[in-house]
Chain A
Amino acid sequence: MTPLFEAKGICKYFGGLKAVEQVDMVIREGDIFGIIGPNGAGKTTFFNACSGIDRPTKGQVFLNGEEITRFSSELIAKKGMARTFQNIKLFKYMSVLENIKIGFHNQLKTTLFDSILHTKRYKEDEKFATEMGLNIINRVGLGDYKETLAGNLPYGIQRKVEIARALALKPKILLLDEPAAGMNPVETQSLMHFIKDLNQDGYTIAVIEHDMKFVMNSCNKILVLNFGHKISEGCPSEVQNDAKVIEAYFGKSGAMGGAHADR
């Protein structure tokens, strides 16, 4: 069976800087796939290379067996990969509902003339977008905020809106770039449940995250990057006990039991 998503030997160089070097990743349907690593490990760059925001220098990306390496990000989104951003990118001066309606863009067929003449197609499209949009809003529990301008919402809610907007694409795979960044522990907890629920609904999710508790409790597979290289991959318990991972996070035989703490 072909995996839902596959990245083969992805490299991304910025001039002489090798931000991502030979990283492979395979995500199967139903996974919650975690990508972790210290700051500057190349996680977001890797994500960008996978989702068409930046083209990878070398390597190939496959979605459902189809190569999407050279596709534009618009086309990749159309093919069924949705993503969120580390620094929230909402349409701040549009309402939450309008934000989500943009996610339906490619599922609508209205042309310029349809919209001017209010043809049947326009009416059906608008009805569809509004109903489905409200569905998603209620599904993620944002019913109270549907008419609020997105930029006026509190931070945690904005994160949710961004995920909801990505859901409107009906994605086969959802890439979340640090969804819990800047959240307090309570918000993180609720986000974790939210993501698990989405997974239960059948969404395949790849998530970059710094919060270890979050990753270890929700992901079934984890990939660890450091200085652009993949240093470990596996289920949470394997990764937790991997010597290389411990080294990357705590330094060489450093904090391990504090035996050489004075060095």
Chain B
Amino acid sequence: MTEQRSEKKLNTLRSSLESLQLWVRHNRGWLLAAAFVLLCIIPFFTTRSYVLGVLCRIFLYSILAGALNTINGYSGQFCLGIAGFFAIGAYSEAILSTAAKMNFWIILPIAGLITAVISLLVALPTLKMQGIYLAIVTLGFSEIVRLLALNWTPLTGGPMGIKGIPVPTFFGIAIRTSKHFYYLYLVMAIIFIFTTSRVIKSRIGRAWMSIREDELASKSLGVFTSRYKALNFMYGAFWAGIAGAIYAPYVRFIDSTYFTLDEGWNILSMMIIGGQGTLIGPIVGSVIVNYLTELLRPIGQWRMVAFALLIIIMMWSRPQGLAGTSSSIIAAKKDRRLRRRFATKQEACNDTAV
């Protein structure tokens, strides 16, 4: 009986979420414009750098979770090494700006490209791997990057890290305060969402999704899947690298402890909570996880338990994530199961009718 009631409650929650989704879809243009204006004027209402700092993190992790989502959500490759890509981007920026004294705006695309090229080195030998095997390789890659950063002292400063990373300037204005970084991060996040939304609507995005749905069928239709999987990996890594490159001058000091596996799990949990295979999902996830991180600060390390619980509840009640539609991969599996159950029930009815 209680089970039935909780099931009912879940169903109403589910349907209300879905109707919200529909409403959002109908008024998308207005909502986006309003959100943009709101985001632009926020710094004029709050001068507390703490609030702006949290918002910066939200934008930064929107890019990171979004980059991971292009890999895991759109092409269905299971990558866990996002922290590694993040680290490569950050270290590229730090090294090029301190040792080579290059301009931040030139470094930015270079850091992205370096990350993309290194990701290709990971992607090429693993093209035939799927699911959990690819996950383990990318997990290992992430750790290798961290250990390299920790031990390659001449290049990365080893345990001392890299300090005194210069702040970027924008037409003579030094991007120094939280307010400045707020706008930098906002613009980068918007560029990321904009490009990704366009890429996934092209033949490239369709090819990625077809690989996620059924790689063999995709091949039989002439999609060179290896090429597109590699491209997908590079695209995600590129943006993770960009995120790293805008992160380094913000913190001004980086060492390997910023890029542990915990960071990777954090990003992964944002993507899962928000919803894989959707554009808005990683943003929603980033907002929720970052907000909860701040909210739960008083309980210290126990907040990890809270996150774990949250993820378990999510997986149980809404596996496609908060913003996810039925087109996300995990939902697909559960959906199929539900439909099969429904179908067998119907069949049974038909049988008795006969």
**Is the CB–CB distance between B218 and A116 below 8 Å?**
no
Question: B residues within 8 A CB of A72?
Answer: 219
Set A51, A102, A122: member contacting B207, Cβ < 8 A: A102
Q: B351 at interface (Cβ–Cβ under 8 A)?
A: no
Set B198, B210, B220, B327: member contacting A82, Cβ < 8 A: B220
Q: B260 at interface (Cβ–Cβ under 8 A)?
A: no
**Is the CB–CB distance between A82 and B199 below 8 Å?**
no
**Is the CB–CB distance between B222 and A78 below 8 Å?**
yes
**Is the CB–CB distance between B220 and A53 below 8 Å?**
yes
**Is the CB–CB distance between A91 and B202 below 8 Å?**
no
Inter-chain CA distance A165–B217, complex, in Å, is 10
**Is the CB–CB distance between B225 and A74 below 8 Å?**
yes
Inter-chain CA distance A89–B221, complex, in Å, is 11
Shortest beta-carbon distance from A150 to chain B in Å:
9
Shortest beta-carbon distance from A120 to chain B in Å:
14
Set B206, B222, B235, B336: member contacting A77, Cβ < 8 A: B222
Question: B residues within 8 A CB of A78?
Answer: 222
Question: B residues within 8 A CB of A77?
Answer: 219-222
A93-B222 contact in complex given A115-B199, A116-B198, C-beta closer than 8 Å: no
**Is the CB–CB distance between B213 and A92 below 8 Å?**
yes
**Is the CB–CB distance between B204 and A102 below 8 Å?**
no
Chain B contact residue count (CB 8 A cutoff)? 30
A-B contact count (CB 8 A): 105
Majority secondary structure of chain B interface residues (helix, strand, loop or mixed): helix
Question: A residues within 8 A CB of B216?
Answer: 53, 85, 89
Set B199, B203, B326: member contacting A108, Cβ < 8 A: B203
Q: B223 at interface (Cβ–Cβ under 8 A)?
A: yes
Q: In chain A between 56 and 112, which residues have their CB closer than 8 angstroms to a CB of chain B?
A: 72-74, 77-78, 82-83, 85, 89-94, 98, 101-106, 108, 110-112
**Is the CB–CB distance between B206 and A102 below 8 Å?**
yes
Inter-chain CA distance A129–B201, complex, in Å, is 12
**Is the CB–CB distance between B209 and A105 below 8 Å?**
no
Q: B294 at interface (Cβ–Cβ under 8 A)?
A: no
Set A74, A101, A108, A122: member contacting B219, Cβ < 8 A: A74
A118-B198 contact in complex given A102-B207, A105-B206, C-beta closer than 8 Å: yes
A169-B202 contact in complex given A89-B214, A92-B213, A94-B210, C-beta closer than 8 Å: no
Q: B195 at interface (Cβ–Cβ under 8 A)?
A: yes
Interface size range on A against B: 35 or more
Q: B231 at interface (Cβ–Cβ under 8 A)?
A: yes
**Is the CB–CB distance between A125 and B203 below 8 Å?**
yes
**Is the CB–CB distance between B332 and A74 below 8 Å?**
no
**Is the CB–CB distance between A93 and B207 below 8 Å?**
no
Query: Which of B205, B213, B220, B235 gathers most chain A CB within 10 Å?
Result: B220
**Is the CB–CB distance between B203 and A105 below 8 Å?**
yes
**Is the CB–CB distance between B204 and A169 below 8 Å?**
no
**Is the CB–CB distance between A105 and B217 below 8 Å?**
no
Q: B224 at interface (Cβ–Cβ under 8 A)?
A: yes
**Is the CB–CB distance between B222 and A94 below 8 Å?**
no
Top 4 nearest A-B pairs by Cβ distance? A115-B202, A77-B222, A91-B213, A89-B217
A to B CB contacts below 8 Å, 5 in the list:
A73-B219, A74-B223, A91-B210, A102-B223, A105-B207
Give residues in A with beta carbon < 8 Å to B.
Answer: 51, 53, 72-74, 77-78, 82-83, 85, 89-94, 98, 101-106, 108, 110-112, 114-116, 118, 122, 125-126, 129, 149, 151, 165-166, 168-169
Given pairs A94-B213, A126-B202, 6 additional interface contacts (CB within 8 A)? A77-B219, A77-B222, A83-B220, A106-B223, A111-B204, A115-B205
Give residues in B with beta carbon < 8 Å to A.
Answer: 195, 198-199, 201-207, 209-210, 213-214, 216-225, 231, 235, 326-327, 332, 336
